Amino acid sequence: MKKKKISIINHYRKLWFYTFNRYKRNNYLLMREYFSKILIYELEEFILLWNKKVIDVGGGRGEFCKNLNKKRKCDTINLDPNPNQMNSNSKSIWSKTICGYADAIPFGNNEFDLVICRGVLEHIPMEKQEDSINEMYRVTKVGGICYITIPPWYNPHAGHQLKPFHIFPFKLAKYLREMIFKNKINASSFEEFKLFKITFKKMIEMASLSGFKVVATKDTHFRMHFLTKIPIIREIMVPAVSFILIKMSE
């Protein structure tokens, strides 16, 4: 499919701006809308998105659903465990938002042309991560696409508010983060913090076991996609890897 290329210079400018200004004014919303455009750009190499049925698993406020509906007339459903949190950064902005969990998606088999799960699996306990991918496989139509983005555990940015110390035991990671960055961490374990290990290797294994075929991997942030092809390097150097998966059969 012919498409307009991303301007790398403009992309890097936006990354720099949102890194330091994402929580000012309405920048968080603008950032999410921008990355939904990146998602459309990446997916349209593999699927024509117009009028497709889409579910965003763990979609937060629903910015991706809103933009897919606006830009490609998709029938979009936003699935989130806390869809009605009452604060400016988490209150739903998409009307077709329902309460649900990745490991128990409340829809039938083969219902969606596209399933999105972006930046969610690292917040799901490891014993439920595989169940979640199996559920995404179940609700994806044969020939449909699943788009999953993870921060590989050994990348310095994967630890959210604990970065870059999240690879250490929790108490040490918390101590170092609070001491060096002066951030208060209101949790006493990774479970309470809702942060769980997921690696590139584990993601490939879980996707394959579910039945998905991995057709591409992308460096969502820095656009150096070749790094996702290099073992070890891809576990450390890529802050956000997107996996484009296809359901070949039942």
pLDDT digits (tens, 9 = 90+) for 202-250: 999 999 999 999 999 999 999 999 999 999 999 999 999 999 999 998 7
pLDDT for res 23: 86
Q: Is the pLDDT of residue 193 over 50?
A: yes
Domains in the chain with CATH codes: 49-159+195-247 (3.40.50.150)
Q: What is the pLDDT of residue 93?
A: 85
What phi, psi does 44 have (nearest 5°)?
Answer: -75, 5
* Cβ partners under 8 Å of residue 218, min gap 6: 42, 225, 228, 241, 242, 244
DSSP collapsed to 3 states, 19-41: HHHCCCCCHHHHHHHHHHHHHHH
Residue 184 CA to residue 177 CA, distance in Å, equals 8
With 0.85 as the threshold, say if the pTM is over it: yes
| Average pLDDT of the chain to the nearest whole number | 94
Reported as a single tens digit per residue, the pLDDT across 70-116 is 999 999 999 999 876 644 455 778 999 999 999 999 999 999 999 99
